[in-house]
Amino acid sequence: MPDKTMSAEFNVTPQKVDAVVVGAGFAGLYMLYLLRDKLKLNVVALEAADGVGGVWYWNRYPGARCDIAAAHYSYSFSKELEQEWVWPEKYPDQPTILKYLEHVADRFDLTRDIQFDTRVEIAEFDDKEQRWLVTTKKGDQYSAQYFVPAVGILSDPKIPQIKGHENFKGGSCFSGRWPKEGVDFAGKNVGIIGTGATAVQAIPVIAETAAHLTVFQRTPYFAVPLQNKVMTEAEDKRMKASYAKIRKHDRESVGGMTLSEARPSAMADTPEQRKAHYEQRYKEGTFNLWVASYDDLIYDRESNETAAEFVRSKIRERVTDPEIAELLCPPKGITFGTKRQPCETGYFEAYNRDNVTLVDLNQTPIEEIVSEGMRTSDQTHELDYLIFATGYDAFTGSYLKMNITGRNGLALKDHWSNGPRSYFGLSVTGFPNMFIITGPQSPSAFYNFPLGIERHCDWIADCIVHTNGRGMAAVDVEQKREEEWVAKVTAIAEETLFPQASSWYMGDNIPGKPRAFAIYLGDGQVFYEMIEREAADKYPSYNFVPKGGEKTGTEASARVKT
Ligand code: NAP
C-alpha cells in the first residue's frame, strides 16, 4: 500500500471529479455510461486490468462460459445494442462475452474515461469536505463526491498456501488469472485443484488436449448439464424480435431470467412423478433442476435428498467405472444446491477417458508440492502444469482490499468484522456517497447479474440526481435501516438449508471468515419493488447532509431529510 503521506508527492493536487467508479466489467461500464452520459457528470473509472470485461476479462480458462442464456445475460438498456449484436451460442463462451463488452465500451465511447492498469489502494471519506479521496497503487489521487466500487462479488482469488509451491518446476496459474496468451497443454501432464463451477467447465476441455489430466477433488459437486446449443439465424431473428417480451418477463421474475415453473413440494409427488419431473428439468439444463423443480428443495432435507439422489443416479449412468462414479457422487449429508450448482458439458464423461485421473483428497490428502509435481499421502503425481481452480473470497474480499474508510475514520473491515452489512446491497451506513452494485444482502448471485446490475445502477443514478438536485453534499443510510435489512436477509436464509451447508455463500472457504449468508433469498421482483419504493418515497431510510453542513453544525443537526 502506498504511504499516504508519500502519495501526495506523486500528485500534489488530487484530480477533482464528480464520481470515481472502480471496475470496468458489466457493472462499471454501465455505471460509467449512466453517470457520464445521462447525468452529465465528470467521471473516471479505474480498472486494474489492461482492458474492459471484469470477470470476463480475467476468466480465460478453457471452457469458461456463461450458464445463463445470452437472451437474459446481456444489457437491456440499449435496443440498438440488442439488435446489432449476434450471439452465436445460447450460452456464450468467455471470448464472446469479452468481445461483447469491448464492443459496448467502443460503441458508447466509454474507454476514454477508463484508467486501465490502475488498482485502487485506499479510499477514504473526508468528513470536512464531504468527498472521497481515492488513491491508486501508482500514487494518483482523485477527489470525488461519489465513490462507486463496481468490483463484483467473485473477483478476489483464493489460492491455498500449499507447502513447497515455490519448488515446483512446472507452470501454474489461478483459473481467474489465466494468461492472456493462453496455455498450450499438448503433450503435458496437467493437474487441477478444485471441482467447483470453474473446474467443471475446464476439465472436459483441458482433457481433450493434455497428455494427462489429474483432478484433485476435495468435495464432489452436484453438476447438471448446461444444454448449450449453437444459435441458428432464425433463432437469432426470433430472439431479436422478442427482446421486449423477454426483458419484461425477466424483470417480473424471481431471479431476473426465464426458467421453468417449479412445483411446490417434492414430497407431494409420487416417486414416479418426481423422476419424470426431474428428468424433464435435467433435460432443460442450466438452473432448471436447481431452482425450478420443487420449491421446497432448499427448505426440506427429505425433499432435497430426492433431487440429490436423482443427480447421483445420473452420475452413475454417465461414468463407466463404478468406483470413480461413487467418488464423483456427493455423499448423503451434502445437500443439493446449497453449494452453487455447476453447469457442465461432458464433465462426467471426461472421467471415462484414459488420460484423466481422479484423486480423492479425502483418502489421499495433499502433502506438498514438489519440484516434479504434487505429492499426496500415497504417491507423487508428476505434473508439468498446475491449475488452481480454488475459488474466491466472495462478497467482501475485493472491497476490503481497497482499504475503505468512511465517516469518522470507520474502516469497512471493522464495520464488516462480523460479516458484510449493507442496505439493499447498495449502501453501507457510515460510508456516505459510496454506492455498491449488487452487493451483499442484495439478490446478487441469485439473480441474473446484468439485469440486477442495471437495476442497481439505475437506482444509484436516481439517488445521485436527487441528492445533487436538492443541493446536498452527502447521502448516508440510517444505521437502523441497515440493521433491519441485514436481520431480514439473515432470517430468510435461516429458514433454508443454506446456513447448514459449507460453501462460499457462507464464507466457509476462507479460514477465519465470519459465517454469514449475504444473499437476499426472497423474490427478486419484490426486492426491486422495495428499492424502487425507497426512491419513489424520496429515500426515507437515508439522511442527507447539506453542502457545508458538517462544517457549520453538529453532525446531527446538519443532517436532514429531503
Ligand atoms: P468454488 O466454487 O469456490 O470451487 C473451488 C474448488 O476448489 C472447490 O472444489 C474446493 O473444494 C476446491 N478447493 C479450494 N481450496 C482447496 C484446497 N486447499 N485443497 C483442495 N481443494 C480446494 O470456485 P469456482 O469453481 O471458481 O467458482 C466460484 C463461483 O464462480 C461459482 O460458484 C459461480 O458462482 C461462479 N462461476 C460462474 C461460472 C459461470 O457463470 N459460468 C463459471 C465459473 C464460476 P471444496 O468444495 O471442498 O471447498
Q: DSSP labels for 213-276?
A: EEEEESS----EE----BPPHHHHHHHHHHHHHHHHHHHHSSSSS---PPBS-GGGS-HHHHHH
The CA-to-CA distance between both ends of the chain, in Å, stands at 39
Of the pLDDT bands very low, low, confident and very high (cuts 50, 70, 90), residue 561 is low
Between these two residues, 561 and 384, which has the higher pLDDT value? 384
Same domain, yes or no: 406 and 444: yes
Indicate if the pLDDT at residue 421 is higher than 60.
yes
Total domains present in the chain: 3
Q: Which atom of ligand 1 is nearest to the CA of 176?
A: 26
Residues 83 and 19 in one domain: yes
The pLDDT of residue 29 is: 99
pLDDT at residue 219 greater than cutoff 50:
yes
Residue 334 sits in the same domain as residue 347: no
Give the mean model confidence (pLDDT) for residues 107-127.
98
Query: What residue numbers bound the domain in which 273 lies?
Result: 259-339
30 located within any domain: yes
Indicate whether this model's pTM tops 0.85. Answer: yes
> Is the shortest distance between the CB of 155 and ligand 1 below 6 Å?
no
Q: How far are the Cα atoms of 20, 59, 459, 540 from residue 45, in angstroms, in the given order?
A: 6, 21, 19, 30
Same domain for 406 and 446: yes
Chain mean pLDDT for the chain = 95
What's the rounded mean pLDDT across residues 511-536?
96
* Cα–Cα distance, 215 to 364 (Å, whole number): 13
Residue 390 Cα to ligand 1 midpoint, Å, equals: 5
* Exposed e or buried b per residue across 29-61, where buried means at least 16 C-beta atoms within 10 angstroms of its C-beta: bbbbbbbbeeeebebbbbbbbebbbbbbbbbbb
Asked if 562 and 487 count as a contact pair (C-beta separation under 8 A), the reply is no
pLDDT > 90? residue 418: yes
198 lines ligand 1 (CB under 6 A): yes
Atom of ligand 1 nearest to the CA of 68: 40
**Of 359, 374, 391, which closes a domain?**
391
Average pLDDT over residues 206-222: 98
Q: Is 193 in the pocket of ligand 1 (CB under 6 A)?
A: yes
Q: Are residue 40 and residue 139 in the same domain, yes or no?
A: yes
Within-domain flag for 162: yes
| Same-domain check for residues 356 and 467 | no
| pLDDT of 11 strictly over 90 | no
Which cell is 201 given?
467447465
Q: How confident is the model at residue 559 (pLDDT cuts 50, 70, 90)?
A: low
Q: Which residues fall within 8 angstroms of residue 3, CB to CB, at 6 or more apart?
A: none
Final residue in a domain of this structure, among 318, 339, 360: 339
- How far, in Å, from the CA of 195 to the mean position of ligand 1? 6
Neighbouring CB atoms inside 10 A of 273's CB total: 12
Position 560 confidence tier, pLDDT thresholds 50, 70, 90: low
Do 411 and 436 fall within a single domain?
yes
The predicted structure's pLDDT at residue 446: 97
**Per residue in 401-420, is it b (16+ CB within 10 Å) or e — as a string?**
bbbbbbbeebebeebbeebb
The band of 285, judged by pLDDT with boundaries at 50, 70 and 90, is very high
Give the tens place of pLDDT for each residue, 245-267.
999 999 999 999 989 999 999 99
pLDDT at 553: 33
CB atoms closer than 10 angstroms to residue 457 = 27
Q: Above 50 in pLDDT, residue 556?
A: no
Task: Name residue, grid cell 468528513.
Answer: 127
Is it the case that residue 90 has pLDDT exceeding 60? yes
pLDDT tens digits along 464-495: 999 999 999 999 999 999 999 999 999 999 99
Given a cut of 70, whether residue 51 has pLDDT beyond it is yes
Which of 339, 355, 376 finishes a domain?
Answer: 339
Per-residue CA distances from 115 to 41, 188, 437 (Å): 17, 38, 20
Bridge partners of 20, per DSSP, are 44, 147
CA 402, chain centre distance (Å): 17
- 294 and 333 in a single domain? The answer is yes
Residue 557: pLDDT over 60: no
At residue 548, the pLDDT reads 78
Q: Does a structural domain hold residue 179?
A: yes
| For ligand 1, atom 15: residue with the closest CA | 390
Q: pLDDT, tens digit, for every residue of 167-185? A: 999 999 999 999 999 999 9
With 70 as the cut, is the pLDDT of residue 549 above it?
no
pLDDT per residue as tens digits for the range 17-45: 999 999 999 999 999 999 999 999 999 99
Q: What is the mean pLDDT of residues 101-126?
A: 98
Q: Whose CA is nearest to atom 1 of ligand 1?
A: 391
Residue 141: the pLDDT is 98
**What's the gap in Å between 175 CA and the centre of ligand 1?**
10
**Backbone region of residue 98 per phi and psi (left: phi > 0; alpha: psi in -120 to 50; beta: other values):** alpha
Is 197 close to ligand 1, i.e. is its CB under 6 Å away? yes
Per-residue pLDDT reduced to its tens digit, 388-404: 999 999 999 999 999 99
* Same domain flag for 31 and 150: yes
Q: For residue 242, is it within any domain?
A: no
- Going from the C-alpha of 112 to that of each of 18, 36, 44, 139, 403, the distances in angstroms are 16, 11, 9, 20, 27
Q: Which atom of ligand 1 is nearest to the CA of 509?
A: 48
Ligand 1 proximity of 361 Cβ (cutoff 6 Å): yes
Q: Establish if 231 belongs to a structural domain.
A: no
Mutate to test the pocket of ligand 1, among 66, 447, 509 (most ligand atoms within 8 A of CB): 509
Distances (CA, A) of 220 to 308, 455, 507: 12, 35, 18
CATH of the domain at 385: 3.50.50.60
Domain shared by 9 and 147, yes or no:
yes
Q: Whose CA is nearest to atom 12 of ligand 1?
A: 194
Domain match, 276 and 403 both:
no
CB 558 within 8 A of CB 545: yes
Question: Residue 230: what residue type?
Answer: V
Using most ligand atoms within 8 A of CB, pick from 58, 94, 165, 198 the residue to mutate for ligand 1.
198
- Residues of the chain with pLDDT > 70: what percent? 95
Predicted confidence at residue 379, as pLDDT, reads 98
Cross-strand bridge partners of residue 476 = 543
> Quick check: is 304 in a domain?
yes
Q: How far apart are CA 388 and CA 262, in angstroms?
A: 36
Write the DSSP string, 131-154: EEEEEETTS-EEEEEEEEE---SS
Residue 6 confidence class, pLDDT cut points 50, 70, 90 = very low
Give a yes or no: residue 498 inside a domain. Answer: no
Instruction: Name the closest-CA residue to atom 17, ligand 1.
Output: 160
Q: How far is CA 332 from CA 221, 336, 361, 494, in A?
A: 12, 10, 18, 21
How many alpha carbons lie under 13 Å from residue 379 in its C-beta half-sphere? 8
Instruction: Quickly count helices (H) and strands (E) in the chain.
Output: 19, 19
Mean pLDDT, residues 439-450:
97
Is 290 contained in some domain? yes
Q: Answer yes or no: do 11 and 132 share one domain.
A: yes
For residue 237, the CA-to-ligand 1 centroid distance in Å is 36
